[in-house]
Amino acid sequence: MYELFFKSFRQKVPLSAEEETQLKRYLTPKKLRKKQYLLQEGDVCKAIAFIEKGALKAYSVDEKGNEHIIQFGLEGWIISDLYSFLTGESATYNIDAIEDSEVLLISKSAHEELLLEMPAYQTFTRLNITGAYLAMQKRLTSIISTPLKEQYTDFIALYPDIVQRVPQHMIASYLGLKPETLSRVRQKIAQK
């Protein structure tokens, strides 16, 4: 249940066997069934989740009831409402499971202790945040400057696994457009 986490950790930062044992104590495994919430809007995000298995999504719901997907998460990714986690304010979005999933939770207190006690963890955290930042910047640039068709083809190229596993209307939401529009974009791409 912990394999992927430590594999992914070691790809970024060296980790001794003792550190692994120590670190493991701070991790709480949790299984989620499809549609089950990991975090619900209004609650405080009490943990960061590393995804060992499955697929999750983070999304907000507007006044009209429309979902806006902010982030997908697959195996090996980390998902949370970072703002809520860090500030202790209530979450502005929901996180739930798209498929049956397994995650490892790192609680706020665990996170803080690890940052102080284990330099490797501080580095791991910095690298994770940096990676997430760069990915988001790429996405933002794409939304601002790229025409729709390319945006979708870029998405397919970048996340082929998500395209396989996630319903289209969720991808539409992620791209900031309506399911009908995405359907038409796909149609035009196919025509060529």
Instruction: Provide the 8-state DSSP code for 92.
Output: S
Task: Evaluate the CA torsion angle 67, 71, 76, 82 in order and state its sign.
Answer: negative
**Among residues 132, 148, 158, 163, the one that binds a second copy under rule CB under 8 A:** 132
Give the nearest distance from C-beta 50 to a second copy in angstroms: 17
**Among residues 12, 30, 108, 169, the one that binds DNA under rule CB under 7 A:** 169
2: its two tokens: 């912990």
User: Contact, 45 vs 89, CB < 8 A?
Assistant: no
CA atoms of 192 and 179, how far apart (whole Å)? 21
Q: Return the one option of DNA, a second copy, none that residue 60 interacts with (CB less than 5 to 8 A, by type).
A: a second copy
| Near DNA in 105-164, by CB under 7 A | 147-148
The smaller minimum CB distance to a second copy, of residues 22 and 60, is found at 60
**Among residues 135, 140, 181, 189, the one that binds DNA under rule CB under 7 A:** 181
**Among residues 7, 33, 35, 126, the one that binds a second copy under rule CB under 8 A:** 126
- Cα radius of gyration rounded to whole Å, the chain: 18
CA atoms of 43 and 173, how far apart (whole Å)? 23
Residues forming contacts to DNA in the complex (CB under 7 A) are 34, 147-148, 167-169, 176-187
